[in-house]
Amino acid sequence: MLTGKNYIGLNLSGTGTTTFQSINPSSGESLATVFFEATQEEVDQACVLAETAFPLFQSTSIGERANFLVAIAEEIDASMELEEMYCLESGLDTTRFRVERSRTTNQLRSFADHIQKGYWLEASIDTAQSNNGLQQDLRRCMEGIGPVVVFGASNFPLAYSTAGGDTASALAAGCPVIVKSHPMHPGTGELVAQAIIRAAKRTNMPEGVFSNLNSLSFTTGQKLVQHPSVKAVGFTGSYSGGKALFDLSVRRDEPIPFFAEMGSLNPVFLSKQAQSLNSEELAEKLAISITNDAGQFCTKPGLIFIEACIDSEEFINSLGEHIMAKTNKTMLGAGILNNFRRTSSDLVKLGTEAFVRESTDKGHGTNTLLVVNGNDFLSNPQMHEEVFGPFSIVVLCSEIGMIHKCVRSLKGQLTGTIHCEKEEIEKYKGLFELVRQKSGRMIYNGVPTGVRVCGSMTHGGPFPASTDPRFTAVGVDAMRRFLRPVSYQNYPDILLPDCLKDKNILSIPRRINGEMNNYSDVQKNGE
């Protein structure tokens, strides 16, 4: 049952006077539960509690933390009210709910599995070498950075929100989490928070390992980012939100790492042969990728560069028709819809041609494909910004040199996709290289939507796709964002973390005196 209150560790608290309700985007009606925005005192309580919980949580064993993550997944799977609340608050359908829930719970389970393998500890041991005069015994491993604040995005109420990738990776790293609940789905957020709290109780996790705070305005998030007890932030959302909070985090007396995953245009490039061979199939694939769930994906293809050829006109018409054939869908909320309508209609005025599926339903986004040429693209900064919704721009370029110019003008991207036949690869080598410099994930003959959760995934990219291109926000390596290296010099075995003791009691891979020395114990000189 929903309470509308803040979860400060195990305590429910609603002492503030600012309240709000979530809105069903399909009907425009307010939902029943009244949510209490967190006050400054509640923000302080959650942050101080997380700071107190940190050393206790760090000292839990890897197995105990893995059990906690699995218990969260089980509690989410068992929550009976979640599906209805998710659909009511987001306008997304039950199929999407099931896909997102299983992605979220599989993600939690994959972190549980991963931490037990121990690679992430990056255990490194350099024993004292008496023969070269270096007497220090130095050992290093990765440890949790401290309490982490998580901001979820509106478009993934589960997978990028309360128990999404940022929360799972921070908890896996042994960092307590304070979630700034998204005001567009606070009910979904509270039900997931309840699942996390139940799991924490079941697995005897320390009080304060998780808190969930409601907010209507930006101020709660701003207070959290600036709180001295907070040591890192995971953010998923818009460029404007991510950049504003990033600036706050670096201006603190103690600057902290701020990992923002933001918007992207995800350029796609079509060679001449790609437009002529299997063109119907490609047009359909792209149309689905652009319009699925009202185009509300950070990996939606927002730009399609086409090298002009005899088949271009037919391909563009076919893509436009496929896009118009897709049903318009309800957008996540009035703010996102208004923003979409404003930006897409401004851009449509600048194109040479547009395919638009009009809609009479007031909550729907309108599937739109705009056609421009390379010079239009280069001279219009507006076309270089994400349009969040079912919208894409075809940039028709007279020759490959113009495509290169356009790519050079692009900002950092989550993904870059190139469609060409194998025999064309040599011709497009320069393009592959240019796109790689701008992108976190390179795709050959595919679509960028559909982000697989696995160890080899990079979900991030050069700014402004993310604020730190060295990390991924998806996949088990996402936890590296919330770890820091700690070295131990001449430490007695009894004081060392388990992963660094002479005996490899965790049975993990370790680097010993410069060599990967899988699963063995430390052999000292003369032993």
- Residue linked to tokens 């692009």: 410
d(CA 212, CA 56): 19
The answer to the question of residue 416 lying near ligand NAP (CB under 6 A) is no
Q: Which of 87, 141, 298, 406 is catalytic?
A: 298
Strands 483-489 and 138-144, how do they pair?
antiparallel
d(CA 470, CA 481): 9
Strand ranges in 119-257 using DSSP code E only, listed in sequence order: 124-126, 138-144, 148-151, 177-180, 210-213, 232-236
Name the CA radius of gyration of the chain, rounded: 25
Q: Of 235-243, 309-317, 352-360, 363-371, which segment contacts ligand NAP by CB under 6 A?
A: 235-243
Q: Is 307 a catalytic residue?
A: no
Q: Of 255-263, 278-286, 343-351, 352-360, which segment contacts ligand NAP by CB under 6 A?
A: 255-263
The answer to the question of residue 464 lying near ligand NAP (CB under 6 A) is no
The tokens of 376 are what?
């239009």
Contact code string over 258-297 relative to ligand NAP, x by CB under 6 A = ---xxx----------------------------------
| Shortest distance, position 302 Cβ to ligand NAP, whole Å | 9
* Alpha-carbon torsion (125, 127, 133, 136), positive or negative: positive
The answer to the question of residue 237 lying near ligand NAP (CB under 6 A) is yes
Residue from 158, 178, 298, 306 in contact with ligand NAP (CB under 6 A): 298
- Residue linked to tokens 């020395």: 517
Residue from 9, 14, 157, 221 in contact with ligand NAP (CB under 6 A): 221
Buried b (16+ CB within 10 A) or exposed e, 409-441: ebbbbbbbbbbbeeebeeebeebeebbeebbbb
Number of chain positions touching ligand NAP (CB under 6 A): 30
Q: Of 90-98, 146-154, 200-208, 375-383, which segment contacts ligand NAP by CB under 6 A?
A: 146-154
The tokens of 154 are what?
């509106």
| Shortest distance, position 218 Cβ to ligand NAP, whole Å | 4
The answer to the question of residue 218 lying near ligand NAP (CB under 6 A) is yes
Strand order in the sheet with 124-126: 483-489, 138-144, 124-126, 511-512, 515-516
Residue from 21, 58, 198, 241 in contact with ligand NAP (CB under 6 A): 241
d(CA 417, CA 423): 17
Residue from 180, 185, 329, 510 in contact with ligand NAP (CB under 6 A): 180
d(CA 61, CA 306): 54
Q: Is 261 a catalytic residue?
A: yes
Q: Does residue 388 contact residue 263 with C-beta atoms inside 8 Å?
A: yes
The answer to the question of residue 223 lying near ligand NAP (CB under 6 A) is no
Residue from 112, 153, 179, 286 in contact with ligand NAP (CB under 6 A): 153
Cβ distance to ligand NAP smaller for residue 218 or 444: 218
The tokens of 468 are what?
């730190």
**What is the set of active-site residues?**
261, 298
Residues that bind ligand NAP (CB under 6 A): 151, 153-156, 160, 180, 182-183, 215, 218, 221-222, 236-238, 240-241, 244-245, 261-263, 298, 336, 386, 388, 414, 459, 473
